[in-house]
Structure 1
Amino acid sequence: MLNRLLPFTIISIIFSACVQKDIKQFVTEDRVDIRTISPDSTDFSELQAIGKAIGDSRIVMLGEQDHGDSPTFLAKTRLVKYLHEQKGFNVLAFESDFFALNEGWDRLEKHKSKIDPFLLNNIFSIWTKCSSCDDLLNHYVPKTYRDKKPLIISGFDNQVHGLYSATNLKTFIDNYLKGKKINYANSEKYKIDFISFIDSIKYNKNLQKQRNFKEALQQINSELSVSDTTAFEIMLLKSLKALTESEISFLSKSSNYSEIRDKQMAENLKWLLKYKFPKEKIIVWAHNAHILKHPELIKKSKWNNWTVMKTMGSFFTADQHLNEQTYILGFNSRIGTSGIVTIDKKFTIEPPAKNSFETWIPETVPYSFVNFKQFREENPGKKKHFLMKGVYHFTDSASWTDIYDGIFYIREMYPCASVVK
């Protein structure tokens, strides 16, 4: 019997080897070229390949190589519209103020005259001041509320920067803690070390004051009821704790300050999924450097230290259940210039490396999508490093097919222009 099966086994192995492709061949043959990134285009038929790749995923993360990449923002805007209108995604969560974009947004009167200034003042200005985000933030989001199919805005960043936070965070936290009858909230140290410091956590460079604030938080947490662990206020306190720990790490010249932030962003995102939006599908808007998973698969380069630093994406997808529900789409480009709208200096993007991902796509192709998840499924266990501008606008060697589920390629990058009001 064994002798009879042997020829079939050999044939099966040979057939499997023939079916499998290396990544260069896969990119060459299986990529899906895209005609336009214009947010004005209402023909979503060419985005169906991305929709099919996303499948039933509940979370889609959209990255960017730099916080000033104009074509990327246009492409992301078009994808947000497609995901909202045809794939049932009703929440758009930004890498911005967790408190302002949840508590503040929930309390906001949803009319354009209110939405426009709120988003301007509470989402990072790298996006709100970029003309390529104008269509999304100042037109599309308000329009969804007139159309009775609202796109809910949210945020998951523990950095406190929004105007709403500057105006309301201190009072919100104080009222909550006094309502919980926290004894420490009646002390002088509470006023000095905690309440008076909340608004300056991100900006105060006094190491001892940061440590005092952390100690105050620990005292508060020791008095809080364990029954409140899923409350928004508890997540907010955890975010503030992570923020001050990140600042302490930075001021102490430690190397894990970014990782502390990314871990808390992952926790905030998990909370949004489980408790605030348990029945909704969520789009995540952030930098490639935050959404990527398996940073250990990026070879250490002179620009980064990804081999030792974990990211939001890696923390988030460490939960296998969440990993199965998530599609991570990184963004990539070939040539051009970049720079953030709030900074005058712009820079030329380095040319693609020889035999890199960017060179496998013909120069005549303006935009393309490559489904790395499909490659993984067709080539199980096949990890191979190749060159690609996979995090920022410079080339690294990595097993990129395990780091992203897909890549949106843009031939020519250029920086944002400022919004003209």
Structure 2
Amino acid sequence: MKKLSILLFLFFGLQGFAQKQIKNYVQKNLNTIRTIDPDSIDFSDFETIGNAIGNSRIVMLGEQDHGDAPTFLAKTRLIKYLHEKKGFNVLAFESDFFALNEGWDHLQKQKSAIDDFIRQNIFSIWTNCKQCDNLFYTYVSRSFATKNPITISGFDSQVHGKYSNNLKKYIDDFLKMNDIPFIKSKFYETEFLPFINSTRISKDLTKHKLFISQVDSIFKQLPKKWEGSFELLVLHNLQESSKSGISFLTKGKDYMEIRDKQMAENLKWLVNQKFPDQKIIVWAHSAHILKNRDFIIPRLTNENWINMGHFFTRDSLLNQQTYIVGFSSKYGTAGRITIPNTYNVISPAKNSFETWINDDTKYAFIDFKQFRDLNPNSLEYFNMKGKYHSYNEAVWTQVFDGIFYIKDMYPCEKSVAKF
């Protein structure tokens, strides 16, 4: 009993020392950010972020919820900084993979066409938010008057964009060009093609299962030269959407994981195949981009699914090339433009990350990667609102590479953009 007491004393004593270590690091190395106003062109306050990112080729920008107005303003300003000062020219969204690649590539790059395309093919949680107007309806189109235009892309396996109305014809043309046996079967015209537009909304388990098996047959019949191609990846996306749909309808636990794994494959393809020599900014929810999720203590049994960031950073080379920025906020309200009700963010917990930052600080950045470099054996758990607007205890220094802190959160306002 005495030995157990000594061990517990040592354990909790070390935990307390460890937390003091990370708390001291945050308070001594916190970098104040002057403003999140997207129109501010003095980026001197972002130099610490630029130094932290270093030579990373992929920068992921998270958000605690899909309606966090000041986070969107901060991300817009960060995107401008990364584009103008760090050479990032690709902006990839958690939105329709097919529409934002095939559609964007064939788009006339004129302001009205760009504005319409963005509004119709990126999720409305962002395109209908006033705090995103500057990015979507001014900055992107203006970039085409420069030598370094921004390329819009996407990596979500969910089909939702207006351009994806062309998806059935696109796949039909591709399969007929290869003249595989399946296109001559009676099921091709009566079952397979009609279901392409239903993979996300259908509740028919039998049709989902049949579609999955039909895509498997197509993969076996297509020539090997198409392995790794965009066309096959599009088919994989549809197949995985059906698998995710089956899991959701049968109350499975992996429907989110199926989607995130496919998003990781899509993002890998963008990084390695489509944009191998370009720097890429990723815009998504923090729950999708975070890594090392095993270092997060979940509050709910179904919260800690294996996510995109985990799958993506299992590739050691990609992990080395990637810098992941999470966001945290202290006070305020949150909500999405697509949902009428807002909610209060959780109040600061005692001795949490947010309480380590003085209330006089509106915006700040802390580099967790530097902490890891200075303390390679450190695994300190502490409370932070890093995944959502609620607390998790985690080794957050292993989950994100850096944190952008915002004192006061508030939800989006409706977009004022005119079309």
- TM-score by length of structure 2 reads 0.94
Quote the offset at 1:117 in angstroms: 0.6
Distance in structure 2 (CA, Å) of the matches to 1:215 and 1:303: 31
Q: 1:336 aligns with which of 323, 332, 339?
A: 332
- Pairing 1:346–2:342 present: yes
Q: What does residue range 398-409 of structure 1 map to in structure 2 within 5 Å?
A: 398-409=394-405
Aligned equivalents of 2:41 and 2:303: distance in 1? 41
**Cα distance in 1, alignment partners of residues 71 and 248 from structure 2:** 30
Tell me the CA shift for residue 281 of structure 1. 0.4
Q: Does 1:283 align with 2:247?
A: no
Determine if the alignment matches structure 1 residue 383 to structure 2 residue 379.
yes
Task: Name the counterpart of 1:4.
Answer: none
Q: How does 1:265-304 map to 2 (within 5 A)?
A: 265-302=263-300, 304=302
**SS state of the match for residue 202, structure 1?**
coil
**Corresponding position of 1:248:** 246
Q: Could you list the per-position Cα deviations for residues 312-352 of structure 1 after superposition, in whole angstroms to 9, with x for gaps in the alignment?
A: 00000000010000000001100100000011010011101
Matched, 1:128 2:127: yes
Q: Distance in 2 between matches of 1:140 and 1:45?
A: 20
**Correspondence for 1:355:** 351
Q: In the alignment, is the contact (CA less than 8 A) between 1:293 and 1:404 conserved in 2?
A: yes
| Pairwise CA RMSD | 1.3
Q: Which residue in the other structure is 1:6 paired with?
A: none
Taking the aligned partners of 2:342 and 2:299, their CA distance within structure 1 comes to: 23
Give the deviation of 1:304 after TM superposition. Answer: 5.0
Alignment of 1:28-177 (within 5 A): 28-166=27-165, 168-177=166-175
What is the identity, as a one-letter code, of the residue corresponding to 1:136? L
Deviations 1:355-382 (Å, cap 9, x if unpaired)? 0000000011000101000000000110
Q: Which amino acid aligns with 2:245?
A: E
Q: Distance in 2 between matches of 1:93 and 1:400?
A: 24
Measure how far apart 1:185 and its partner are: 1.2
Q: Offset at 1:303?
A: 7.5
The one-letter code of the counterpart of 1:326 is: T
Per-residue deviation, residues 142-178 of structure 1 (Å, max 9, x unmatched): 0000123200000000000000002x10000000001
Aligned mates of 1:91, 1:194 — CA distance in 2: 34
1:233-263: CA deviations, max 9, x gaps?
Answer: 0111111111111111111211001001001
Q: How does 1:299-318 map to 2 (within 5 A)?
A: 299-302=297-300, 304-306=302-304, 309-318=305-314
The equivalent of 2:9 in structure 1 is none
Separation in 2 of the partners of 1:321 and 1:381? 21
What is the rounded CA distance, in whole Å, between the counterparts of 1:298 and 1:157 in structure 2?
24
> Which of 185, 188, 196 is residue 186 of structure 2 equivalent to?
188
1:229 equivalent in alignment to 2:241? no
**Quick check: 231-240 or 130-139, which moved more?**
231-240
Note the C-alpha offset of 1:189: 1.0
SS in 1 for 2:297: coil
Question: Quick one: distance in 2 between partners of 1:234 and 1:119?
Answer: 25
Q: Is the 8 A contact 1:341 1:416 kept in 2?
A: yes
Cα distance change on mapping 1:70 and 1:32 into 2, 3 Å: same
Q: Indicate if the aligned counterparts of 2:288 and 2:307 stay in contact, CA closer than 8 A.
A: yes
Cα separation, partners in 2 of 1:135 and 1:303, compared to 1, 3 Å:
farther
Of 237-246 and 80-89, deviating more is 237-246
Partner of 2:392: 396
Distance apart, 1:193 and its partner CA: 2.6
Aligned residue-pair number: 400
Structure-2 residue corresponding to 1:216: 214
Where does structure 1 differ by over 4 angstroms across 4 or more consecutive aligned residues?
Answer: none
Q: Is the 8 A contact 1:357 1:388 kept in 2?
A: yes
Identity %: 56
- Mapped to 2, the partners of 1:395 and 1:300 lie a distance apart of 10
Are the aligned partners of 1:334 and 1:413 in contact in 2 as well (CA < 8 Å)? yes
The 10-residue stretch of structure 1 (68-77 or 229-238) with the greater mean CA deviation from structure 2? 229-238
SS for the counterpart of 1:99 is helix
Secondary structure of 1:22's counterpart equals helix
Match of 1:258, as an amino acid?
M
Task: For structure 2, list consecutive stretches of 5 or more residues without a partner in the other structure.
Answer: 1-16
Q: Say whether the 8 Å CA contact 1:337–1:347 is kept in structure 2.
A: yes
Query: Residue 238 in 1 paired to residue 236 in 2?
Result: yes
The answer (yes or no) to whether the contact 1:21–1:379 under 8 Å persists in 2 is no
User: Any gaps of 5 or more consecutive residues in structure 1?
Assistant: 1-17
Q: For residues 208-238 of structure 1, give each alpha carbon's deviation from its aligned partner in whole angstroms, at most 9, with x where no partner exists.
A: 1111111111111110122211211011111
Give the C-alpha shift of residue 79 in structure 1: 0.3
Equivalent position amino acid for 1:390 in 2: G
Question: Paired residue for 1:5?
Answer: none
Amino acid at match of 2:181: N
Q: Determine if contact 1:63/1:331 at 8 Å carries over to the other structure.
A: yes
- Structure 1 residue 192, shift from structure 2 partner: 2.7
Partners of 2:89 and 2:150 within 8 A in 1: yes
Residue 13 of structure 1 corresponds to none
* Aligned-partner Cα distance in 2 for 1:252–1:179: 37
| 1:303–1:62 Cα change, 3 Å | farther
Taking structure 1 as the reference length, the TM-score comes to 0.93
Please give the secondary structure, in 2, of the residue aligned with 1:96. Answer: strand
